[in-house]
């Protein structure tokens, strides 16, 4: 496992600061994953459900214990309509608390946390009521559940 790991529960509410100007641009309000739940794509850092302000993972310089550092305040943008951002921002897709179903259709508890590599945004594992599920066994995260291999 990478030496620089973090979890969704640890970064929620963490300040987001611009490296170039030192501005406080918001705080982590939501985490947006790719469809396969393998990588963090964006964070909501401001705005509300109808007009969320987002930062792409590529603009994240570092994730520290006190703040998430981004390249520049100008990199914060509105949610793009072709992205699944609004499902996360509205709470339709919840990472922590999502039901866990295996590909055979059996319920496997719920997600208690999600660990990721703080350097790359790659998801490392989902923590569930039943224990740790490595990323290679994650299939997708939707509005109802995180689907894992049976």
Q: Which of 10, 17, 59, 12 is nearest to 31 (CA)?
A: 12
Determine the Cα–Cα distance for residues 87 and 99; give it in Å rounded to an integer.
16
CA–CA–CA angle 8, 11, 12 (5° rounding)? 85
Q: What's the predicted TM-score (pTM) here?
A: 0.92
Phi–psi pair at 8, nearest 5 degrees: -60, -45
Helix (H) or strand (E) holding 99: strand 99-102
Q: Which value, in Å, is the radius of gyration of the alpha carbons in the chain? A: 15
How far from chain centre, in Å, is Cα 54? 12
Determine the Cα–Cα distance for residues 149 and 26; give it in Å rounded to an integer.
37
Which residues partner with 43 through β-bridges?
A: 31, 55
Percent pLDDT > 90 in the chain is 85
49 pLDDT above the threshold of 60: yes
Determine the Cα–Cα distance for residues 88 and 24; give it in Å rounded to an integer.
23
Tokens 């496997």, residue located: 108
Percent pLDDT > 70 in the chain is 98
Determine the Cα–Cα distance for residues 39 and 41; give it in Å rounded to an integer.
6
pLDDT, one tens digit per residue, over 60-117 is 999 999 999 999 999 999 987 777 788 898 889 999 999 999 999 999 999 999 999 9
């Amino acid at each position: 496992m990478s030496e620089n790991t973090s979890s969704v529960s640890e970064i929620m509410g963490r300040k987001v600061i611009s490296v170039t100007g030192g501005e406080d641009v918001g705080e982590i309000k939501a985490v947006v994953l790719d469809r396969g739940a393998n990588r963090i794509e964006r964070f909501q850092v401001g705005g509300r459900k109808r007009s969320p302000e987002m930062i792409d993972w590529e603009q994240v310089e570092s994730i520290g214990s006190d703040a998430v550092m981004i390249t520049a305040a100008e990199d914060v943008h509105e949610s793009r309509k072709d992205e699944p951002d609004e499902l996360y921002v509205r709470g339709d897709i919840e990472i922590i608390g999502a039901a866990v179903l295996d590909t055979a259709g059996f319920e496997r508890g719920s997600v208690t946390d999600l660990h990721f590599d703080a350097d790359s945004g790659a998801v490392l594992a989902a923590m569930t009521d039943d224990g740790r599920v490595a990323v290679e066994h994650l299939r997708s995260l939707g509005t109802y559940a995180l689907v894992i291999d049976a």
